[in-house]
Structure 1
Amino acid sequence: MTKTDLRRHYRAARKAFVAALPASERERLERALADVVAPVIGGFRMTGSYAAVGDEIDPVWIEKRVGPHAFPRITGPDILFHQAEWSELKPGFQSIPEPPATAPVVQPDLLLVPLLAVTLNGVRLGQGRGYYDRALAALRRKQPVLAIGLAWECQIAPALPAEPWDMPLDMVATPERLVDCRKSR
């Protein structure tokens, strides 16, 4: 399958999975995700997160545990992370909630990463524009960053194609498990 086919397949699988969940079950699973990652998210200076859209798994319960955190803002071909509160977010690029340009730009050392699909060795399939690959590469050039991909279990792929510029994730978390991808590399 091409990356386009894979995106279509995993987008449909995620949509069907979430559509079948009662709202209370979705919240229970997203709270479980926060419990799963709790052992590894302490001790970081700044967490970069994201505002979930549609059927993406929502990191809000993780955000409540980490203190100050930052959200991505698209600036041309790149993402910059701005420290902000949820109340400050406004629809931005493709109507994705983002912080104002005036919010402080920060360098996260923990990054929660959205995705369409992921392997257990950290190969991530995103939306296809490379924003997170470029952002993660730029952050890693400045300091160590722990990148955790957040997914529903239906987004775990047996294999995915990887390009030289694709940035591997360090960990993958679902409501059911936390996998340290670095152990398989």
Structure 2
Amino acid sequence: MNKTDLRRQYRAARKAFVAALPKGEREALERNLAEVVAPALTLVHMAGSYAAVGDEIDPTWIEKRIGPHAFPRIAGPDIVFHQAEWSELKPGFQNIPEPPATAPMVHPDVLLVPLLAVTLSGVRLGQGRGYYDRALAALRRRQPVLAIGLAWECQIAPTLVAEPWDMPLDMIATPQRLVDCRKSR
């Protein structure tokens, strides 16, 4: 299956999973995600997060635990991270909430990463524009960065092809488990 078909398949699976959740269950799972990922966040100085859109798993409960954090902002072909509060976010590229350009730019040492699909070894399938791969590569050139993919269990793929420019995730967190992908590489 090509990446376009895989993206379609995993978007549909994610949408169906979220749509089938009983009332209140989504929030309970996202709260549990914050509990599951907590051991990986003990030494975080500055985390980069994201504003979930639609049926993406929402990191809000994680953000509440870690204190000040940053959100991505599209800057040409790249994303950069600005420390901001939710109340400061405004619709940006593709109507995704992003911080103002005037917010302080930061370099996260932990990055919470959205995804469409991921393998247990940390190969990630994103939206296809490479923003997070380029951002993670740039951050890692500056300092060590722990990249944690956030996913529903239905987004765990048995295999995905990694392109040379794809940046591997270090960990995957779902509401059910925390996987250290570095152990399987």
TM-score between the two structures when normalised by the length of structure 2: 0.99
Instruction: Tell me how far apart the structure 2 counterparts of residues 78 and 112 of structure 1 sit (CA, whole Å).
Output: 17
Which moved further from structure 2: 38-47 or 86-95?
A: 38-47
Counterpart in the other structure of 1:108: 108
Counterpart in the other structure of 2:141: 141
Q: How does 1:54-73 map to 2 (within 5 A)?
A: 54-73=54-73
Computed over aligned residues only, the root mean square deviation of the Cα atoms, in angstroms, reads 0.5
Counterpart in the other structure of 2:126: 126
Instruction: Tell me how far apart the structure 2 counterparts of residues 89 and 39 of structure 1 sit (CA, whole Å).
Output: 28
Alignment size in residue pairs: 185
Rate the CA distance shift 1:23–1:83 in 2: closer, same or farther, 3 A. Answer: farther
Instruction: Tell me how far apart the structure 2 counterparts of residues 155 and 91 of structure 1 sit (CA, whole Å).
Output: 26
Instruction: Tell me how far apart the structure 2 counterparts of residues 20 and 89 of structure 1 sit (CA, whole Å).
Output: 29
Counterpart in the other structure of 1:181: 181
Instruction: Tell me how far apart the structure 1 counterparts of residues 90 and 21 of structure 2 sit (CA, whole Å).
Output: 27
Q: Secondary structure at the match of 1:80?
A: strand
Q: Secondary structure at the match of 2:29?
A: helix
Q: CA deviation at 1:22?
A: 2.5
Counterpart in the other structure of 1:169: 169
Instruction: Tell me how far apart the structure 1 counterparts of residues 98 and 76 of structure 2 sit (CA, whole Å).
Output: 14
Q: CA deviation at 1:23?
A: 3.6
Q: Which residue type is aligned with residue 83 of structure 2?
A: Q
TM-score between the two structures when normalised by the length of structure 1: 0.99
Query: Percent of aligned pairs with the same residue?
Result: 85
* 5+ residue gaps, structure 1: none
1:158-182 Cα distance to aligned partner (Å, 9 max, x none) = 0001100000000001000000000
4+ long deviations beyond 4 Å: none
Q: Secondary structure at the match of 2:82?
A: strand
1:69-101 Cα distance to aligned partner (Å, 9 max, x none) = 000000110000000000000000000000000
